[in-house]
Each structure stands twice: as structure tokens, then as C-alpha cells.
Structure 1
Amino acid sequence: MATIDVPLPDSVHVLTGPSGDPRTAAPAGTGRWTVPGAEVTARHDPYGALRLTLAAPGPEGLSTVALRRRHHPGGHRPALVLGDAWERSYGELQWRGIQPERPLPWYWLGTDPATGTSAGLGVRTRAGALCCWTVDEDGTTLWLDVRSGGLPALPGDREIAAATVVGVATAADTTPYAALQELCAAMSPDPLLPAQPVVGCNNWYYAYGQDFGPDAVLRDAATIAEFAGDHPVRPFCVVDDGWTEGGGSAPGGPWDTGLPGLFDDMAGLAAGIADRGARPDLWFRPLLSRVPTEGMRTDTGAPGRIPLDPSLDATLATVAADVARFRSWGFELIKHDFSTYDVFGRFHPDTPHEMAGAGWRLADRTRTTAEVLVGLYRTIAKAAGDAVVLGCNTVGHLAAGLVQVQRTGDDTSGRHWERTRRMGINTLAFRLAQHSRFYAVDADCVPCTPATEWPLNRQFLDLVARSGTALFVSVAPAARTPQTDADLGAAVRLALDGGSPGGVEPLDWLGTTAPRRWRTDNAERTYTWSQPWGAWPPLPL
């Protein structure tokens, strides 16, 4: 298995204005193409990766660039193709046959079970464009969305460092999973990883932000410390949504005080968590405000729910001050959430072909949306100092290197096992190759609640603990029994050890969205994810 020298595209197509079809650019020398008002340049770095830069000095700006290659890497048309998701996944990740219109954000890997070979292409993390691939019978196309919001970017005389393309091709004795690991490593040369395994508790999936206060938080801190025992790595205790006014419904800031009469002393709460043997962790939503404030967007929102514009210095200053305040209170992990939704106005289930809708704008149109998001994540990382940063509903491919932990899938559930199966198993299987290459993967909480079946959640707990990925548990006091405590304690201590030696690997993932067969400890384990009635199509929260 090896990385490959990425070939130049056979043709380049450019969309400058906000609508219409892309125009075919004219070659202007090796690795250079032009259309009126824009120029595309492709240059190899010393390692064979292809660096793509864009220029659009004119008033029309630049929206989209498509780079077409009329061949497949490795020289073989794949039988099955796997892609990623724009931000969190929503249970939709899977291997499929060639589907020419299928959007494949950030990277794609193809495999042929008949020959055992795999090959794929991707862009390095923290790209300057929102990057998406399509794969058809004749070749591949890389689509670079360089808009600012939903309008063409206006970079002026500045070049946009849009993307660096890398690729892999494998021999017949390499599994597709190993090929995906190699591709992820090539895309992420500078990951920011936690110094120790990330394990903790979070009451969201039994409290859902309602009817809880400091006493419940401190009780959970004592519980997770009990599960950890005398392990030298201490677990985290999350104070999730519900600690501010409007809590339990993902409210916005200001984030300078807790809910009056309940969370009045956040520094004291952090100290209390530490006194009980856990590390304090705090959730917040950086790009939403309950009150009018500097940096707010004026084109969207509703009273009490005002999104902020991350392209403005005022917004970044507010976010940095919030994170620094949390650190001063004593919180050692900062979980920031909802920024993708607050920028784009939507989540991205079922992988739409683009993240942004047409027409809406960021205040600073000289930068692409991707560049603005990287700037937001960098601001949070810098303000966090030595605290661990966990991104949730963030664009993982742009956040890699700026977060130590990333929630890679949509919410699991303390009410319905089907949601945990569909979201948690899927994201763990299909994004596990990103673990320790982009960041520490967080497949979301393992619930232990009266409303969900423990025999099923117990299997998810076992798999996550063995994987070495981040393990968070949501344990309702009413669901604790000697058996659940024994299971949770064993899993927490295994996860604090870093999981099973060698981790885990999905084995039957070429043919299902929820793999049952996994390799671990040089052996095979089979899990059963089905309820007695199977999978029920509606997906409640």
C-alpha cells in the first residue's frame, strides 16, 4: 500500500457568478487554466500531492471549480465506493456501487472485492474550499465550492489555497479498511490528539437538559469516578445543555453566567466535579445569542435566537472571551456545538450536494465559507489553551488539527435504541479510520436508561470501549443495577487503558450500514443490533 502521485486533471470547469453552468477553462501552460475573470493553478508538492490555488480578481467573483479526470486512480474502475459526510454523519455512510450523481464530501475510496485492490482520493484537512467528489464509470470529478455563504467569493488580489489532493492505491493483500486508514493519514499530516484517552459521563440522554442542577452533576461525577476506580487517567464529567437560561433546547449566549438560582457558581461547580475525582467539561453553542449583540447576522434568526456571523472580528472576539472564561472557571474540556447549523441554517442528513443554500451572505465576502469556518475553529483552539476541545456539529474535515475530539455522528438516544443503532454504530464503523489520524473519534454517548434495552446498549458499550475511541456514558440513576455497574465499570476502565490492543476493525462493512462482525484482540466478535421487530423506519429523538 502506498500514496500515489496525484495526476493533473484532464479538464477544468469554472462557475464565476451565482448561477449558470460551469464554463470549460482554457489550458494556459502546464497546470494552469483560465476563464475570463478567474484562473486555476495545480502544482505538485515534493510528495506527489496536488496543490490547487484559485484567483478571481474581478468583480464577478468565484463560485465553483470542477476538476475532471477521465481515469480512475490505480487504473481500475471500482466495484464499490465509499465517501464521507459534510459534517456529522446521520446513519447514511455506506459502500455502494457506482452512482455518478452521489456526492462524496472530502474523500472517496473505491474497492473491488474480486481483485482485493482499493484506491481513492481526498483533500487535506483545513481546505480553503468545501470539497466534494463524484465518481462515475469513466472517471472522477472534484468540486470546489469557494462561495462566501451562498454568493460568489470576492477574493480580490488574494489567491485562495483551495485544496491539496492526495491519493492511495493498494495491493491485493490490503483490506479496504487499511486503505482508508492510509488515505486518512495522508489527508491529515498534523492531527491534534488528546494526551490521554477521553472517557466520561454526560447526563443528556437521561435528563435532556431538564430538571437537573449542580447536585445531579456532582452525583454523575462521583458515579463516573466510581466506575474508573483507581485508574491513573481521570474521566470527564460533562455539564451539557441546561446550565443557562433557556436550557434544554440548545439556547444561545451570553455565556457569562449560569441559570440564576441554580447554576450561580460555575467555578464552584467545576471545583466540585474535580473534588469527586472527575475532570470538568462544559458545553456551549458559540454562534447563537438570546439577545442582540455585536456580530449578529441580520438576514436570519428569530427573537431570542440570533445567529452570529463568524466572518466578523466581533464574533470571534466574543467566542474567544467565552472560551477563556470557561477555562478561568476551571473547566478542562470545552464542547462547542451547533456552529454548522448556525452558519448554514440546516443540518446535512443524506449528504446533499452542497452545504450552503443559494443567496445568503457572510459579511466578509473576501473569504470562502471554508476559510471562515477554519478561522472560527482556530479561534476556539487558541482560546482553549491546554484544555481539550470537542467539536460537535462542526465540519470535522475543517476542524481536524484544531480539535482533539470530534463527534462524528448525529445523536444517539436514551429513549429509543433504534436511533443509537442507526447513528452510533454507523459512524463508528465508517469513520473509525479517522481516529488518531484526524482527532479522537466520538461516536456519542452509550445510554443506560430505563427506556432502552441494556443488552443492546451493553454491546455498543463493549464495542466503543474496545475501539479506543472516546467513550461517554449517560447513566440514569434509576437504571443502575449491580449488572449495569459491573458492565460500565469494566468498559470505562478498558477505555481509560486506551481500548483493546490494536483497537477494532469492521469486517462485514462492505454490505451493511451497521456492521455486526468486528476484529478485536486478533479474534472476531459478532454483535446483535436488532430489536425483536427489527429496524423501525421512523426515527424519533
Structure 2
Amino acid sequence: MAVSLAAPSLAITHVRLRWQIQHPDDTLVLGDAWERSYGDLGWRNLVPERPLPWYCAVHQNGSTHSYGVATGAASLALWQIDASGITLWLDVRSGGEGVILGSRALKAATVVARRGERGESVVNALSAFCRSLCPSPRLPRSTVYGSNDWYYAYGKNSADGIVRDADLVASLAPPGGPKPYAIVDDGWQDKQRFPDMAALTARIQSSGALPGLWIRPLRAQRDGDRKLLLPEARFGDRTDRFKDLAYDPTIPEAREAALETMRLAVRWGNKLVKHDFSTYELFGAWGNEMGPSMTANGWHFNDRSRTNAEIVLDLYRGLREAAGEQTVVIGCNTIGHLAAGLFEANRTGDDVSGRIWERTRRMGVNTLAFRLPQNRAFFIVDADCVPITKAVAWEKTRMWLDAIARSGTALIVSAEPGAVGEPQKQALRDAFAIAASSPVSVPEDLLLTSTPRHWRSGGGSGAQSKTYLWEEEGASPFSI
């Protein structure tokens, strides 16, 4: 069902649609997230005011029924489920104010529904539904696996350290298999530690790995032209964030500055580029702060004739074009429902940790399990890295490594020097070999917990079940 909007003389903020459908009292409900998840995905009983971004599913009487909007929508879609029906909100604001369409008709969204089959597994139902939402995903030509320095270096990285990472993953990749990536994360802007980025990509390739780079394209410098920036009002009352200057991509010169960051990364010879922070910089909030609304009221982009979703899509399309056809693009802090079909991979959860296992358990396992239906339907899911550090017990890290490797999602390791001995090297060899074989592993207890422990891979006589004891010592109730 297509939803269109015409409002030649009004500034419209939202469109609301309602379907009267009776739901049994024992119905379970699942929703997605605006951008990354924050350990907060899961099935719950009916909570009428609960915001369910992009798509939702109900499980009742042994069947899983799904409702959503097709990817690439021109509005930000939010669902609600209650005992008497289903509500869909389409946010068509420009910034935090109504869009001014003028004579233009907006094709706001296409509503898609799928009736589940009784006895069908929840994961199969959700995976089939996600495939129906995105008919043309853009998938990489080979496995996305390798290294990223963030979770051991945390910005204190160096060119020599990156080459060491490249040597490690290249030596452990399966013979004759896909080449692994060696991704440089934040910190490369330091000219003393990274004097020549083009030379670094050449060194990485000489190691037998493929070079990759993290960028933050919307970040603006303090000495730049203030007329190119987004207004501070997008942060609402969070005045401590006013220092985070960002380009307004509806201003041509500002958009060009953002895209040039991507072009520069490609000119240096990178085969993969990971772009980050754009949702926060555009809308002034993190996904777990948004609730039913991605941004505060009372501000607007320079161009008020386009919706937030249209502005994001235009930015993503520009980044895609700037990257070229051969470069693998990973979005981080991006809106997956708008990135689908444009980027090969997408970070689906908030950061794990190389210091605190609880953060990896809470953020990583949750997003791997609940956004796995998006894998290869929207893009390759990146549930975040596998940090191998001295601060986190190896027996815990090994579980996370194994789960990621078997899932068929991106497998990126962050290996601290001195924390990788022979046991870790052998586990990495095994994990890379599994990942290169295009495996499929799914959670069996998705309805029962926020961090599924029981996973199944393969089928028939070759089926294998694994149980991961994520919370053997309990979980922390505190903020992390």
C-alpha cells in the first residue's frame, strides 16, 4: 500500500494511519530501532505506547505476523501495537519543523505486511519479511572480515600498528580464501603517527590484506564557515553538545565538503570505508534517546522542502557515488532502513568493549540475534568487533568470536598486541575459515531472552547446536 501526501499550503509534521485489529492478550511484540540498537531489542507483551521504528512483528497462536514500510522511504516510520489495533506514524518533518512541500506530492512510504504461517520459526518469518522490504540489497562480492584497531587502541593507534594488524589477519586467513581487511579507525588524523596515508594503504596491501578507513564526513572544523553548519537547536536542551559542529548537507557547499572526505579515503587506496556519526550529527541525539521522535522540535535544515528521510537518503546516495562502485561501504550510526540497498554493510548495534565484557554481552549479542534477519536482506550485518584484549577473559571473547563467525555476518577483530598467543591465533584461523564458508547460524530462543544462548547452524543430518554461556557469572544491572 503506497502512502502519498500533498499539502500545498501547510507545513506537515506527521501522518497517522490506524488499522483496527484485535490482538489476544498474550501477544508478543517486536520492533526495530531508529539507527543502531542499544541492547534494547526484544519481544515484549502489549505496551500500547511503545514506539516501534520502521517495522514490527506480533507473535500469537504460534504464528509471527509482520508489518513495516519498504526500505528507502521518504518518511521516518514508527509503529504502535495495542489490543485493539495497529498505528503507523510517518514523520515528514524537515529537521524539527513541518516540511514545506509546495506543489510537490510526497510518496511518503510503502506499507508492507506479511502473514506468518503457523509453526514457522520466528527467525524464518522475520528474515522472509525483511527480504520483502528490500528487493535489491547491495551485497559485497566476498566475505567482510579482518581487523579494526579501535577496541585495543581507542584512538591511540599508529601506522606501524595497523600494518602489524594486517600481517596478523593475512597470516590467519584461509589459504586461497578472500583477503581480509585491515581497517584504520579514528586517530589517523595525527600526522606524526600517520604521516602518509597513501603509503599506509600500500603497506597493508603488501601484507596481503585490503586497506580500510574510518571517516566522519559531516564533522566540521571550528575555523570553517559557520553558514555551512547545522543549527545548535537540533540538540534541544543538551547544551553540552553545542561543540559538535556538523555540516548541513542540504547546503551544496557543505554537502560537497562531506563527500570529499569519502573521495579522499578512496584516493588513498582504501578498498573499504566506514563512515560514522551522521545520525547523531544530523539530528542531535543517539538512538536510545530518541523515543518516538528522532530529533527535537523547533529547528530546520536550510532546505525545508525535503523531509528528514529524503535528506538522509540524498546524503547516503552521495556517499555511495563518492565511494565508487568497487569500494565496500560500511555505515555506522546510520539509519539501516535508509542505508539498505546503498551500503554493503551496516553496524547494527552500539559499541561493544575491549575493557568491559558486560558491554559486549549486552550490546553485541542482542543486536546479533535480533537484527540477524536483516543480514543479506538489507546488507551484511555488522554486530561490531570481537575485541581480543588482556582486559577481557579469553573464554568470554572466544564465545563471541565463535558466534559471530558462524552467523554469516561481518567478522572484524580488534586484537591487542600481547593478547594474541597461539590459542587465540588458532581460534582466529578457525573463525576466519568458518566466516569464509558463508555459514548461517540462527538463535533458537529468540522469543525467550534479550541475549539468546542457543544457536543452530546447518540443517538435516549436518545440523549443529551451540550453547553460549553469556551470563555464567550473572549480568550487571548498572549503566555501562
Residue pairs, 1:168-183, within 5 angstroms: 168-183=114-129
2:236 corresponding residue in structure 1: none
Which of 65, 68, 78 is the equivalent residue of 2:18? 68
2:59 corresponding residue in structure 1: 111
Identify unmatched segments of 5+ residues in structure 1.
1-49, 245-258
Instruction: Determine the C-alpha separation between the residues in 2 that align with 1:304 and 1:279.
Output: 35
Deviations 1:89-142 (CA, angstroms, capped at 9, x unpaired): 000000011110000000011112xx3112121000011111000000011010
The answer (yes or no) to whether the contact 1:147–1:369 under 8 Å persists in 2 is: yes
Q: Does 1:491 align with 2:441?
A: no
Instruction: Determine the C-alpha separation between the residues in 2 that align with 1:190 and 1:343.
Output: 26
TM-score, with normalisation over the residues of structure 1? Answer: 0.84
2:32 corresponding residue in structure 1: 84
2:110 corresponding residue in structure 1: 164
Instruction: Determine the C-alpha separation between the residues in 2 that align with 1:91 and 1:351.
Output: 15
Identify unmatched segments of 5+ residues in structure 2.
234-238
1:424 corresponding residue in structure 2: 364
Relative to structure 1, is the Cα distance of residues 206 and 389 closer, same or farther in structure 2, using a 3 angstrom cutoff? Answer: same
The answer (yes or no) to whether the contact 1:78–1:110 under 8 Å persists in 2 is: no
Give structure 1 regions of 4+ aligned residues with deviation exceeding 6 angstroms. 75-78, 301-304
Instruction: Determine the C-alpha separation between the residues in 1 that align with 2:394 and 2:268.
Output: 36
Instruction: Determine the C-alpha separation between the residues in 1 that align with 2:303 and 2:194.
Output: 37
Q: Does 1:528 align with 2:478?
A: no
Alpha-carbon offset, residue 339 of structure 1:
0.2
Instruction: Determine the C-alpha separation between the residues in 1 that align with 2:435 and 2:66.
Output: 32
The answer (yes or no) to whether the contact 2:217–2:259 under 8 Å persists in 1 is: no
Which of 468, 474, 477 is the equivalent residue of 2:417? 477
The answer (yes or no) to whether the contact 1:170–1:179 under 8 Å persists in 2 is: yes
For 1:485, the aligned partner's letter is K
Alpha-carbon offset, residue 78 of structure 1:
6.7
Q: Does 1:242 align with 2:187?
A: yes
Q: Does 1:196 align with 2:142?
A: yes
Alpha-carbon offset, residue 231 of structure 1:
3.3
Aligned residues: 467
1:514 corresponding residue in structure 2: 451
Instruction: Determine the C-alpha separation between the residues in 1 that align with 2:382 and 2:298.
Output: 34
1:28 corresponding residue in structure 2: none
Instruction: Determine the C-alpha separation between the residues in 2 that align with 1:526 and 1:216.
Output: 35
Instruction: Determine the C-alpha separation between the residues in 2 that align with 1:413 and 1:303.
Output: 27
Alpha-carbon offset, residue 76 of structure 1:
6.8
1:282 corresponding residue in structure 2: 213
Instruction: Determine the C-alpha separation between the residues in 1 that align with 2:219 and 2:387.
Output: 28
Q: Does 1:437 align with 2:388?
A: no
The answer (yes or no) to whether the contact 2:247–2:258 under 8 Å persists in 1 is: no
The answer (yes or no) to whether the contact 1:221–1:237 under 8 Å persists in 2 is: yes
Instruction: Determine the C-alpha separation between the residues in 1 that align with 2:243 and 2:46.
Output: 46
Alpha-carbon offset, residue 438 of structure 1:
0.2
Please tell me the root mean square deviation across aligned C-alpha atoms, in Å.
1.6
For 1:324, the aligned partner's letter is R
Which of 80, 86, 99 is the equivalent residue of 1:153? 99
The answer (yes or no) to whether the contact 1:231–1:496 under 8 Å persists in 2 is: no
Deviations 1:481-511 (CA, angstroms, capped at 9, x unpaired): 111111111101211222x3xx011111111
Task: Please say which of residues 173-182 and 120-129 is displaced more in the overlay.
Answer: 173-182
Instruction: Determine the C-alpha separation between the residues in 1 that align with 2:384 and 2:242.
Output: 31
Instruction: Determine the C-alpha separation between the residues in 2 that align with 1:232 and 1:452.
Output: 30
Residue pairs, 1:183-262, within 5 angstroms: 183-210=129-156, 212-244=157-189, 259-262=190-193
Task: Please say which of residues 183-192 and 312-321 is displaced more in the overlay.
Answer: 312-321
The answer (yes or no) to whether the contact 1:209–1:241 under 8 Å persists in 2 is: yes
2:228 corresponding residue in structure 1: 295
1:336 corresponding residue in structure 2: 275
2:80 corresponding residue in structure 1: 134
For 1:342, the aligned partner's letter is E
Deviations 1:188-237 (CA, angstroms, capped at 9, x unpaired): 11111111110010110011012x21110100110111111423300000
The answer (yes or no) to whether the contact 1:432–1:441 under 8 Å persists in 2 is: yes
- Greater RCO (CA < 8 Å, at least 6 residues apart): 2
Deviations 1:449-474 (CA, angstroms, capped at 9, x unpaired): 00001111101110110111000000
**SS of structure 2 residue aligned to 1:131:** strand
Instruction: Determine the C-alpha separation between the residues in 1 that align with 2:230 and 2:346.
Output: 27
For 1:528, the aligned partner's letter is L
Instruction: Determine the C-alpha separation between the residues in 2 that align with 1:524 and 1:420.
Output: 22
Task: Please say which of residues 481-490 and 88-97 is displaced more in the overlay.
Answer: 481-490
1:35 corresponding residue in structure 2: none
Alpha-carbon offset, residue 520 of structure 1:
1.1
The answer (yes or no) to whether the contact 2:12–2:92 under 8 Å persists in 1 is: yes
For 1:68, the aligned partner's letter is R
The answer (yes or no) to whether the contact 2:174–2:432 under 8 Å persists in 1 is: no
**SS of structure 2 residue aligned to 1:287:** coil
Residue pairs, 1:405-416, within 5 angstroms: 405-416=345-356
**Structure with the greater alpha carbon radius of gyration:** 1
Alpha-carbon offset, residue 350 of structure 1:
6.4
TM-score, with normalisation over the residues of structure 2? Answer: 0.94
**SS of structure 2 residue aligned to 1:354:** coil
Residue pairs, 1:245-394, within 5 angstroms: 259-291=190-222, 292-293=224-225, 295-299=228-232, 305-349=244-288, 352-385=291-324, 386-394=326-334
2:3 corresponding residue in structure 1: 52
